Structure 1
Amino acid sequence: MFLPLLRRRAVPLLRAAHAFHRAGVLPPNTYVLDLDAVERNAAAVTAEAQRLGLTPFAMTKQIGRNPDASRAIAAGGISHAVGVDLECAVAAAAGGLGIGHLGHLVQIPRHSADDAAALEPSFWTVFSEAKAREAAAAAERAGRVQDLLIRVAAPGDRFYRGHEGGIAPEDVAALADLVDGLPGARFAGVTSFPATLFDPGSGTARSTPNLGTLTRVKRALLAAGRTDVELNAPGTTSVSVLQTLAEAGATQVEPGHGLTGTTPLHAVQDLVEDPAIVYLSEVSHTWDGDAYVFGGGLYVDPVLGDVPTRALVLGDDVDVADAAELDVEMPAPSAIDYYAVVPGAAGRARPGDTVLFGFRPQVFVTRALTAGIRGLSTGRPELAGIWAADGSAPLTVTAALGTGRPS
């Protein structure tokens, strides 16, 4: 879905991925990141957020918590990350970002609360009184006072199945008072997800009922005498939606796919953010007229629905500007993605050929690698490093045998 966009706006990234693979520098099953573009995108979000009085926290799960990308994000002005779960927060901290927010979407397990508190998050979301007490107790043991956000859920709000949970709007004030009475905790504000969603019918991003709920709850809290109520409003975040979020009372936003130009809106409109990620693979073999392509990272975020996937298949002598986009048969969601299939491509694809995809990833749920390239904006591409999907350094075979080192 993003391949045409990459071919229009990110040709240097495609060419670098192709060249590094042909040279044996990058292996298949690698998401390749343009670090210069990530930094520019972070700077664009930062500038608009500052203009509107918003605080941005970077979501890095989609890009495999790549530490080189974290450094590019920080260079663009976003100093703190949101951890979708505790492991994500730990990886973001290891990559050099402060922890701006954790506990949302995934609550902190009971016996991990001390680990979460040790990260000194700016904000910690709780779905219940029980989780508020756990967070407060952990913060007190760590010798600090933790700002807590309350997750709000009202009838009519929209949640992905399995994401449900939170406090009814009419109960927020009482829980906020209770939080303020807990040693180690302070009520800081409210949150929900998603606050913004892509509307395929109109091709635009629209506010959800959740955002309206948050606005009403914040107004009620302010009217009751509270001050400085934070409103955290994640979902489909890019420069294009920040004005709407600010007008709704948001104070915190959480760009993720906006940092790589892969929100659904980027698939249908040219926005400020540049496309900054491509999936690199390789033809493994041909059989019965079809070409088989290595997988491992072929999870396509289904937010745009059932859209066709295409790829470029490139040998040594084909440029990305000239290659045809070929239809790809992706593995079923219930299958292990050992391979994708390029139907009828056996005559034009050879084992070892480079394959480039452009789709919306969620690298952290895959077994893919990530690799950042810096210098594309100056025409001097340089590989920054190769990392596993959890942000750690993968081992080479020789390293695993004790005769090498992590690559």
Structure 2
Amino acid sequence: MFLDVLRRRNPAFIEAAIRLHQEGRVPANAYLLDLDAVEENARHFRAAADRHGLKVFAMTKQVGRNSGFCRAVMRGGIDRSVAVDMACAVACDRAGLKTGHLGHLVQVPRHEAPMAASRLAPDFWTVFSREKAQEAAHAAKLAGRTQSLLARIHTENDTFYRGHEGGFPAEDIADVAAMIDGLDGARFAGLTTFPALLYDQEKKKVLPTHNLSTLARAAEALAKIGRTDVEVNAPGTTSSIVLDTLAEAGATQCEPGNGLHGTTPLHAIEDLPERPAVLYLSEVSHLHQQRAYCFGGGLYIDPVFPDYDVQAIVSDTPTASARAMASVEIPPPSAIDYYGMIDTTGAVKPKAGDSVVFGFRGQAFVTRAYTVGISGVSSGDPKVVTIENPFGVAQDWPELR
């Protein structure tokens, strides 16, 4: 779905990826990042958020917490991250992107709370329960801090992905706020949920979920008892064009992830301000019968669309032409993606060593793929900046020796 928009809006990136791969400067099984475009996207997003008075925390998990990505985001004016888990927070902190929000979606494990409070010192820390609030408060007290806590809330008809559930009943928010304020080392700072926005397949629009109205009603209930300085954190499917909706609903914080590299669902069907800035690179390994097998490892396609004909550009020379596109069969999620299988019965005749470029919405942090930051695409002089694993740790590679 995203290969078409990538070809139209950033063809030089595809060509640079093939050139660097054919020169042996980047590995196969790698998410490549156009850092110039990431910086440009972040700068646009920052300006849009500033117009609405929204705090911005960048989500980096989709691109493996890559340090080059983090630094590009900072150059674009976003200096805080939202960490999906502790590994994410540590990687971003190591890259210089400080922790704006921790604990959502994944709560902080008990014995890691002291490190979170002392080393990471997040601006905001989300808790789902009294026990987690107590752990955060205790850790903050030991670190000599008072931690601002966000309460994740829920009510009937709210949407949660299976396995993401948790939080306080929204109807109890006044008591929850008082409970948190009563903890030594913590203060009640506000509310959060996920997802606040979702892409609607039928309407082909990003629409508010019931969760967003739950946040608004809870904030109103708090205002009635004198709590007016309440943060409202409203993540989910965030590109710059949805900020009006968030601000009108009373949100004070937003958390772009795929929006920073142009891969929200809406980016696949509309030309939004953010340009596509990520692709997945593989290589033809061998041929067998009527299939060419390309290396996998990062072939997890985030299922925001129904099944479709996955295609890739297959070539040994730099090109973004549709004539170089072939259909590829991706292993199902229940299988290990050792290889993708490229159709060889059409006009494209793959051979061993060819570059294979995919455009899809990925989640690099759940794969075994490299992440590679590339600068200079916009100037026609692409250079490799970083080659890292999905934890944002630099990998030994000849290009960077």
TM tier relative to shorter chain? over 0.9
| Closer, same or farther: CA 345–280 of 1 in aligned 2, 3 Å | farther
Q: Is 1:190 matched up with 2:191?
A: yes
The answer to whether the Cα contact below 8 Å between 2:83 and 2:89 also exists between their aligned partners in 1 is yes
The answer to whether the Cα contact below 8 Å between 2:261 and 2:278 also exists between their aligned partners in 1 is yes
Deviations along 1:321-351, one digit per CA (max 9) or x if unpaired, are: 2533211100111000000001235971110
Moved more, 138-147 or 368-377: 368-377
- Structure 1 residue matching 2:171: 3-state secondary structure: helix
- In the TM superposition, 1:93-172 aligns within 5 A as 93-118=93-118, 119-172=120-173
Distance 1:101 1:307 in 2: 35
Deviations along 1:48-93, one digit per CA (max 9) or x if unpaired, are: 1100000010000001100011000001010000000111111110
Q: Which residue number in structure 2 is paired with residue 277 of structure 1?
A: 278
- In the TM superposition, 1:5-404 aligns within 5 A as 5-118=5-118, 119-316=120-317, 319-321=319-321, 323-345=323-345, 348-395=349-396
Q: Which runs of 5+ in 2 are unaligned?
A: none
- Structure 2 residue matching 1:384: 3-state secondary structure: strand
The answer to whether the Cα contact below 8 Å between 2:292 and 2:341 also exists between their aligned partners in 1 is yes
The answer to whether the Cα contact below 8 Å between 1:314 and 1:323 also exists between their aligned partners in 2 is no
> What's the TM-score once normalised by structure 2's chain length?
0.97
The answer to whether the Cα contact below 8 Å between 2:155 and 2:171 also exists between their aligned partners in 1 is no
Q: Which residue number in structure 2 is paired with residue 399 of structure 1?
A: none
The answer to whether the Cα contact below 8 Å between 2:25 and 2:399 also exists between their aligned partners in 1 is no
Distance 1:257 1:143 in 2: 35
Deviations along 1:342-378, one digit per CA (max 9) or x if unpaired, are: 1235971110000000000100000000111111222
Distance 1:98 1:50 in 2: 19
The answer to whether the Cα contact below 8 Å between 1:313 and 1:323 also exists between their aligned partners in 2 is no
Deviations along 1:9-67, one digit per CA (max 9) or x if unpaired, are: 01110010000001000110011110010001111110011000000100000011000
Deviations along 1:311-330, one digit per CA (max 9) or x if unpaired, are: 010023x6222533211100
- Structure 1 residue matching 2:323: 3-state secondary structure: coil
The answer to whether the Cα contact below 8 Å between 2:315 and 2:324 also exists between their aligned partners in 1 is no
Hey, which bits of structure 1, 4+ residues long, moved more than 3 A? 404-407
- Structure 2 residue matching 1:152: 3-state secondary structure: strand
- Structure 1 residue matching 2:180: 3-state secondary structure: helix
Deviations along 1:128-160, one digit per CA (max 9) or x if unpaired, are: 111100000000000000000000011100000
Distance 2:400 2:354 in 1: 26
| Closer, same or farther: CA 81–34 of 1 in aligned 2, 3 Å | same
Distance 2:276 2:180 in 1: 42
The answer to whether the Cα contact below 8 Å between 2:200 and 2:206 also exists between their aligned partners in 1 is yes
- Structure 2 residue matching 1:303: 3-state secondary structure: coil
Distance 2:377 2:396 in 1: 27
Letter in 1 for 2:62: Q
Letter in 1 for 2:360: F
Distance 2:314 2:88 in 1: 33
| Closer, same or farther: CA 111–165 of 1 in aligned 2, 3 Å | same
| Closer, same or farther: CA 405–243 of 1 in aligned 2, 3 Å | closer
Superposed CA RMSD: 1.4
- Structure 2 residue matching 1:376: 3-state secondary structure: coil
Deviations along 1:199-236, one digit per CA (max 9) or x if unpaired, are: 01011100000000000000110111012100000000
Distance 1:195 1:307 in 2: 26
- Structure 2 residue matching 1:302: 3-state secondary structure: coil
Distance 2:63 2:198 in 1: 20
> What's the TM-score once normalised by structure 1's chain length?
0.96
Q: Which runs of 5+ in 1 are unaligned?
A: 397-403
The answer to whether the Cα contact below 8 Å between 1:263 and 1:360 also exists between their aligned partners in 2 is yes
Letter in 1 for 2:284: V
